[in-house]
Amino acid sequence: MKLLILPQARLDLLEIWHFIAEDSVANANRVGEELEAAIRRLMQMPGMGHTRSDVKDQRYRFWTVYSYVIAYRFDDAAMTVVRVIHGHRDFRRALAGRRSPQ
């Protein structure tokens, strides 16, 4: 299975790191490593994630690491990380305009 991390998700990861690093670079590194490890685990078992009732497209899956949520979708060929956002964000709005492959 191929891993795709969309540009917005890469930006999300960078913004999370910078936000946490304002208080502690060590904590920012730890959270970043945990998010990366979770993505690797999801590659091995992408079905581990859950769906959300507030997101219409049920092809999206979600996995929580600390207070952040990895939003992704998968098929037989690839796992695509779409966003990595704080759990209190409006997921419907954060994923608006995203089209899942048919």
pLDDT score recorded for residue 97 = 58
pLDDT score recorded for residue 101 = 40
**pLDDT tens per residue, the chain (102 residues)?**
899 999 999 999 999 999 999 999 999 999 999 999 999 999 999 889 899 888 888 889 999 999 999 999 999 899 999 999 998 877 777 777 554 443
Do residues 76 and 47 make contact, with C-beta atoms less than 8 angstroms apart? no
Topology of domain 2-94, per CATH? YaeB-like fold (3.30.2310)
Distance (Å, whole) CA 44 – CA 12: 22
Question: Domain limits of the chain?
Answer: 2-94
Q: What is the reported pTM?
A: 0.87
pLDDT score recorded for residue 53 = 86
